[in-house]
C-alpha cells in the first residue's frame, strides 16, 4: 500500500525536492496515518489538480461537440472564470464562426474514423483579433459497444514557436526571392506579409524615395486600404510629413503612438480620420552609399508604441528591404550598362536590330514610314590624336547631346560604335523631305563650334538616311542602305548628308563589301596609278607629276579615290595600299629615267594613318633601294591638318625624310590651321595652294589676295609653290603675274596613264608647251 501510495504521490507531483531518499520514505510511511478522506482526495483529485494546472488546454467533448469537461486554461482563454462556464457549449458558440467550424470539422473526422489525431496544427482567431496556433491531439472515446461517444483532447498553444517559424520561413523566402531576382514588388510584399504574420492588428507598407530624393512612392502595402495608399503616394519628404515622410527626412526611426494627436500628423489628420489605423511606426532604410532608399512602415489599429520585439522586427524588415532595393537597383544598373553606352548614356547597338524590326512591323500595320539615319563623324581620329582621348570622349558626349537636342528626344538615338550614331526616325519625320530637313539640322548642330576649356574647334560629320518601305524591306537592309548613303556622303568630300538612292541596283556601294573587295583587290592588283603633270610656269617644262590612285573594281568599274580612300583610311587598309602606291610611283619614275626621259619628281600622297605608321620610313627606304630611284625624285605630299595633328612628331619624321634627301610638300595649303611659326619649323620643300583658292581667282578678290599671299609666303620661306586645280588661261595668267613657279591642273593635263605621261616627257618642249606660248 505504502508502495502504491508512494507512486501515486510521486505521480501527483508531491515528491518534494531537497529530501534524501530515507527521509522521503519516512514521509511517505507517515501517509498511512492520513485520514481516509485525505487519502481519497489524494488518490482521486490528482488528475484534476494536474489538469487544472497545466498550461495546455485539456477537454472532453460529447458526440455533438459540446464540452463535457475542460480545464481552467480553456475557460480563461475563452474569457470565463470557471471551467463550468464552458460546459455544454460548442466551439461554434465559443469561437468566431470560421474557427469554430474548423474545430468541429476536424473532430467529425476523428469520430468518423475512430482514429486519434496526434499533434496536428490548428489555427484560431480570437474574438479580439489575436491569432493563436495550437498543436492538438484528440482521441475518440468509445463505449462498450465500440461506439463513439465523444472525444478527449489536449491542445498546446504553440503561437510563439509558430511565429518564430513563420518569421524564419518568411526571411528565407525573402532572401531566396532576392537571390532569384524576383521582381522587387513581390519581394517587398513577401516581406510585409512576413512581418504582419508576427503582429496582431498591425499592417505594413514599404515606401520608396524617388530618384530626386524629394518624394515618397508607395511600393507595397498589401493590407492597407488602397485609398489610403493613393493618399500617401507622392507625398513629399519633410520634417512634418506623418511618420514615413519624417523618418526619411530625419534619417531615423519615427514611432508615432497616436496619429490623432501627434503633431507630425497634424496636416494629414483629417484625411486619415476615416481609416482605422491609430499608430504608425516607420523605420527608414539606407543604401550602401548612405542614401535613404525608403522606409518600412507599420500601422496598428491601437493607440500604442511598438514593443521592443516589434521594433526589432521593423528594423530587421527595413534591413531586408534595403537589400532587396539595392539588388534591384544593381540589376537595373547592369541591364542599363548592357544596353547603353556609358560615355554618352545613349542606348548602344545591343538589341538594335530587334528594336528596328519591331518598328518596321509596326510601320507595316500603320502605314507610317520608318527611317534610319547613320551619322559618322569625319576624321574623328584627328580629334583623338590631336587633343587626346579625354577630349575625344568629351566631343562624343557633346555630339550625343547635340543629336538629342535636334529632335528633342523624339527619336531613338543610338551610339552605334566609336564615332557612329544611328537614329530611328518614325512617323511624319521619316518622310524623305522631312528627313532631309532633319539631316540638315543635325549637321548644322553637330558642326557648331565645340569649346572645351581653352580649346575651340569643329567636327564635321557625314550622314546617310534610308527609309522603310521605300528603300528597304527589313531592318538589316534598312541599316545597310542608310550606311551606304552615309558612305556616299563621305565619298563626296565628307561634311554632308545623303538620302539613299537605289538607282543602280546591284552596283551600289556597300561599305563592308567594298572593304572586303579592297582587301582582295590590293592582292589581285586591281589598283593602278594615274599621273598628273606639274609644269614650270616659266619654262613650260614638266618638272613633276602627282601619282593618283585608281581602282579598277571588277563589278563597279573604275573607282575614284574619293570612293575608296576614306574607307581605306578608316579601316587601316590605307597602309598596305599606300605602300603599294609608293612602290609603284617610284618604280615608274625610275623606269622613265631608265628610258632616258627628262627626270621629274614624283609626288605621292600620304594620309594621316600612314604618317602615324612607324614603318613608313622603313618602307620609303626599302622602296628607294628596291626601285633604285634617287630620293630627290620622290616628294611626299602631306596635308596641313595631318601635320598639325602632332606637330612635334611630324617635324621629327620629316627631318628624317629630309635627311634621306626626300622632298616634302604641304598639300591643300590654306585650308587647315597651321600657324606660320609651325610652318617655319617643318622642313618643307614645297607649298601646294589648295584648288579652292584657284577656282574663283577670276571673280573673287579675296581668293586672289590669298593666292598672292601664299605665293609670296612660299618665296619668303624659300619654298617652291605649286598652284593646283588650274583650269583656265586667266588663272594661269594671274599666277604668272604673281610669279608662281609651278602649276598643275586640267588646263595643262588631266591625270593620265604612265604610258601617256611617258610620251609627253619624250616630246619636244615646243610641242607640249603650246599653252605656254
Ligand X SMILES: Nc1nc2c(ncn2[C@@H]2O[C@H](COP(=O)(O)O[C@H]3[C@@H](O)[C@H](n4cnc5c(=O)[nH]c(N)nc54)O[C@@H]3COP(=O)(O)O)[C@@H](O)[C@H]2O)c(=O)[nH]1
Residues that bind ligand X (CB under 6 A): 532, 546, 548-549, 560-562, 565, 578, 581, 605, 607, 667-668, 691, 724-727, 745-746, 751
**Closest CB to ligand X among 107 and 584?**
584
Contact present, 415 and 400 (Cβ < 8 Å): yes
**Closest CB to ligand X among 215 and 732?**
732
Residue 255 to residue 244: CA distance in whole angstroms: 10
**Closest CB to ligand X among 611 and 633?**
611
**Closest CB to ligand X among 248 and 606?**
606
Number of helical (H) and strand (E) elements in the chain, helices listed first: 30, 26
Grid coordinates belonging to 497? 548628308
Nearest distance from C-beta of residue 605 to ligand X, angstroms: 4
Contact present, 4 and 32 (Cβ < 8 Å): no
Output 114-122 pairs: Cβ under 8 A, ≥24 positions apart. Answer: 114/140, 114/142, 114/146, 114/148, 115/140, 116/140, 121/158, 121/162, 122/155
DSSP designation for 752: B
**Closest CB to ligand X among 184 and 581?**
581
**Closest CB to ligand X among 314 and 548?**
548
Sign of the torsion formed by the C-alpha atoms of 438, 439, 442 and 444: negative
**Closest CB to ligand X among 496 and 725?**
725
SS3 74: helix
Nearest distance from C-beta of residue 518 to ligand X, angstroms: 13
Nearest distance from C-beta of residue 730 to ligand X, angstroms: 13
Grid coordinates belonging to 153? 483532447
Nearest distance from C-beta of residue 630 to ligand X, angstroms: 21
Nearest distance from C-beta of residue 674 to ligand X, angstroms: 16
Nearest distance from C-beta of residue 180 to ligand X, angstroms: 58
**Closest CB to ligand X among 369 and 745?**
745
Task: Please name which of 717, 715, 706, 729 lies closest in space to residue 682, comparing C-alpha atoms.
Answer: 717
Task: Please name which of 276, 280, 292 lies closest in space to residue 238, comparing C-alpha atoms.
Answer: 292
Contact present, 300 and 279 (Cβ < 8 Å): yes
**Closest CB to ligand X among 477 and 691?**
691
Q: Please work out, in degrees rounded to the nearest 5, the angle formed at the alpha carbon of residue 493 by the alpha carbons of 353 and 534.
A: 150
Residue 738 to residue 731: CA distance in whole angstroms: 11
**Closest CB to ligand X among 238 and 561?**
561
Nearest distance from C-beta of residue 556 to ligand X, angstroms: 15
**Closest CB to ligand X among 65 and 553?**
553
Nearest distance from C-beta of residue 627 to ligand X, angstroms: 16
Sign of the torsion formed by the C-alpha atoms of 484, 490, 493 and 498: positive
Query: E strands of 594-718, at which residues?
Result: 601-605, 634-639, 663-669, 686-689
**Closest CB to ligand X among 538 and 746?**
746
Task: Please name which of 343, 335, 513, 516 lies closest in space to residue 418, comparing C-alpha atoms.
Answer: 343
SS3 494: coil
Q: Please work out, in degrees rounded to the nearest 5, the angle formed at the alpha carbon of residue 661 by the alpha carbons of 660 and 665.
A: 115
Nearest distance from C-beta of residue 403 to ligand X, angstroms: 29
**Closest CB to ligand X among 120 and 746?**
746
Nearest distance from C-beta of residue 567 to ligand X, angstroms: 12
Grid coordinates belonging to 129? 483579433
Nearest distance from C-beta of residue 668 to ligand X, angstroms: 5
What's the farthest any 2 CA atoms get from each other in the chain? 163
Task: Please name which of 598, 605, 678 lies closest in space to residue 646, comparing C-alpha atoms.
Answer: 678
**Closest CB to ligand X among 190 and 607?**
607
Nearest distance from C-beta of residue 505 to ligand X, angstroms: 26
Output 128-132 pairs: Cβ under 8 A, ≥24 positions apart. Answer: 129/200, 129/201, 130/200, 130/201, 131/159, 131/200, 132/157, 132/159
Nearest distance from C-beta of residue 544 to ligand X, angstroms: 11
Burial class for 189, CB neighbours closer than 10 Å (0-12, 13-18, 19+): buried
**Closest CB to ligand X among 61 and 688?**
688
Task: Please name which of 89, 53, 88 lies closest in space to residue 71, comparing C-alpha atoms.
Answer: 53
**β partners of residue 280:** 256, 299
Alpha carbon of 221 to those of 194, 203, 310: distances in Å? Answer: 12, 8, 18
Contact present, 61 and 107 (Cβ < 8 Å): yes
Nearest distance from C-beta of residue 687 to ligand X, angstroms: 12
**Closest CB to ligand X among 238 and 576?**
576
Nearest distance from C-beta of residue 761 to ligand X, angstroms: 18
Nearest distance from C-beta of residue 639 to ligand X, angstroms: 8
**Closest CB to ligand X among 691 and 712?**
691
**Closest CB to ligand X among 420 and 727?**
727
Grid coordinates belonging to 62? 460529447
> Rg of the chain's alpha carbons, rounded to an integer?
48
Grid coordinates belonging to 700? 573673287
Residue 261 to residue 549: CA distance in whole angstroms: 90
Q: Does residue 129 come out as left (phi exceeding 0), alpha (psi in the -120 to 50 range) or beta? A: left
Cis peptide preceding 347, ω within 30 of 0: no
Nearest distance from C-beta of residue 532 to ligand X, angstroms: 6
Residues in contact with 757: Cβ distance below 8 Å, sequence separation at least 6, in sequence order: 531, 533, 542, 545, 592
Amino acid at each position: 500500500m505504502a508502495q502504491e501510495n508512494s507512486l501515486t504521490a510521486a505521480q501527483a507531483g508531491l515528491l518534494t525536492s531537497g529530501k534524501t531518499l530515507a527521509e522521503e520514505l519516512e514521509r511517505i510511511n507517515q501517509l498511512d496515518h492520513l485520514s481516509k478522506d485525505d487519502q481519497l482526495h489524494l488518490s482521486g483529485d490528482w488528475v484534476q489538480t494536474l489538469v487544472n494546472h497545466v498550461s495546455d488546454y485539456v477537454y472532453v467533448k460529447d458526440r455533438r461537440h459540446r464540452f463535457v469537461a475542460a480545464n481552467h486554461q480553456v475557460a480563461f482563454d475563452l474569457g470565463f472564470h470557471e471551467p463550468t462556464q464552458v460546459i455544454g457549449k460548442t466551439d461554434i458558440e465559443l469561437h468566431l464562426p470560421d474557427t469554430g467550424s474548423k474545430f468541429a470539422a476536424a473532430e467529425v473526422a476523428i469520430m468518423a474514423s475512430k482514429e486519434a489525431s496526434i499533434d496536428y496544427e490548428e489555427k484560431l482567431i480570437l474574438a479580439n483579433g489575436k491569432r493563436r496556433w495550437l498543436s492538438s491531439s484528440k482521441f475518440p472515446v468509445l463505449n462498450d459497444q465500440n461506439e463513439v461517444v465523444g472525444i478527449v483532447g489536449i491542445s498546446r498553444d504553440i503561437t510563439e514557436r509558430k511565429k518564430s517559424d513563420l518569421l524564419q520561413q518568411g526571411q528565407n523566402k525573402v532572401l531566396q526571392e532576392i537571390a532569384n531576382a524576383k521582381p522587387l514588388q513581390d519581394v517587398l510584399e513577401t516581406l510585409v506579409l512576413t512581418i504582419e504574420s508576427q503582429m496582431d492588428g498591425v499592417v505594413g507598407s514599404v515606401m520608396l524615395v524617388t530618384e530626386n530624393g524629394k518624394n515618397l512612392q508607395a511600393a507595397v502595402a498589401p493590407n492597407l486600404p488602397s485609398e489610403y495608399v493613393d493618399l500617401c503616394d507622392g507625398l513629399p519628404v519633410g520634417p512634418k510629413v506623418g511618420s514615413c515622410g519624417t523618418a526619411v527626412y530625419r534619417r531615423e526611426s519615427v514611432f508615432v503612438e497616436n496619429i490623432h494627436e501627434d503633431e507630425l500628423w497634424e496636416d494629414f489628420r483629417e484625411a486619415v480620420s476615416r481609416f482605422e489605423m491609430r499608430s504608425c511606426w516607420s523605420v527608414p532604410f539606407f543604401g550602401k552609399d548612405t542614401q535613404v532608399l525608403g522606409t518600412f512602415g507599420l500601422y496598428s489599429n491601437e493607440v500604442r508604441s511598438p514593443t521592443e520585439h516589434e521594433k526589432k522586427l521593423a528594423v530587421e524588415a527595413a534591413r531586408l528591404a534595403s537589400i532587396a532595393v539595392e539588388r534591384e537597383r544593381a540589376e537595373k544598373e547592369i541591364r542599363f550598362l548592357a544596353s547603353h553606352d556609358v560615355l554618352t548614356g545613349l542606348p548602344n547597338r545591343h538589341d538594335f536590330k530587334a528594336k528596328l524590326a519591331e518598328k518596321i512591323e509596326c510601320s507595316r500595320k500603320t502605314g507610317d514610314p520608318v527611317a534610319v539615319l547613320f551619322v559618322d563623324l569625319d576624321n574623328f581620329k584627328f580629334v583623338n590624336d590631336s587633343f587626346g582621348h579625354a577630349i575625344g570622349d568629351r566631343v562624343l558626349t557633346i555630339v550625343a547631346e547635340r543629336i538629342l537636342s535636334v529632335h528633342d528626344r523624339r527619336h531613338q538615338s543610338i551610339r552605334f560604335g566609336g564615332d557612329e550614331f544611328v537614329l530611328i526616325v518614325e512617323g511624319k519625320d521619316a518622310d524623305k523631305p522631312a528627313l532631309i530637313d532633319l539631316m540638315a539640322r543635325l549637321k548644322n548642330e553637330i558642326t557648331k563650334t565645340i569649346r572645351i576649356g581653352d580649346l575651340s574647334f569643329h567636327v564635321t560629320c557625314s550622314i546617310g538616311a534610308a527609309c522603310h518601305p521605300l528603300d528597304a524591306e527589313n531592318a538589316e537592309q534598312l541599316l545597310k542602305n542608310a550606311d551606304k548613303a552615309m558612305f556616299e556622303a563621305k565619298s563626296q568630300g565628307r561634311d554632308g548628308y545623303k538620302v539613299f538612292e537605289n538607282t543602280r541596283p546591284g552596283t551600289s556601294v556597300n561599305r563592308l563589301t567594298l572593304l572586303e573587295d579592297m582587301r582582295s583587290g590590293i592582292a589581285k592588283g586591281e589598283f593602278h596609278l594615274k599621273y598628273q603633270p606639274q609644269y614650270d610656269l616659266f619654262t613650260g617644262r614638266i618638272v613633276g607629276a602627282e601619282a593618283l590612285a585608281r581602282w579598277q573594281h571588277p563589278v563597279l568599274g573604275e573607282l575614284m579615290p574619293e570612293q575608296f580612300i576614306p574607307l581605306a583610311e578608316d579601316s587601316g587598309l590605307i597602309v598596305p595600299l599606300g605602300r603599294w602606291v609608293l612602290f609603284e610611283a617610284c618604280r615608274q619614275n625610275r623606269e622613265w629615267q631608265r628610258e632616258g626621259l627628262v627626270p621629274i619628281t614624283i609626288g605621292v600622297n600620304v594620309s594621316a594613318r600612314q604618317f602615324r605608321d612607324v614603318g613608313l620610313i622603313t618602307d620609303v627606304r626599302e622602296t628607294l633601294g628596291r626601285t633604285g630611284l634617287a630620293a630627290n625624285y620622290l616628294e611626299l605630299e602631306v596635308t596641313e591638318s595631318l601635320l598639325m595633328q602632332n606637330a612635334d612628331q611630324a617635324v621629327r619624321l620629316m627631318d628624317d625624310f629630309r635627311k634621306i634627301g626626300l622632298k616634302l610638300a604641304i598639300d591643300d595649303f590654306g585650308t587647315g590651321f597651321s600657324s606660320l611659326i609651325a610652318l617655319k619649323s617643318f622642313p618643307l620643300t614645297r607649298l601646294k595652294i589648295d584648288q579652292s583658292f584657284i577656282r574663283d581667282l577670276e571673280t573673287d578678290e579675296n581668293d586672289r589676295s590669298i593666292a598672292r599671299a601664299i605665293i609670296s609666303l612660299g618665296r619668303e620661306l624659300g619654298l617652291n609653290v605649286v598652284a593646283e586645280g588650274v583650269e583656265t588661261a586667266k588663272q594661269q595668267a594671274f599666277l604668272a603675274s604673281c610669279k608662281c613657279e609651278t602649276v598643275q591642273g586640267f588646263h595643262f593635263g588631266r591625270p593620265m596613264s604612265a604610258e601617256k605621261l611617258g610620251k609627253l616627257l619624250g616630246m619636244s618642249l615646243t610641242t607640249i608647251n603650246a599653252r605656254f606660248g
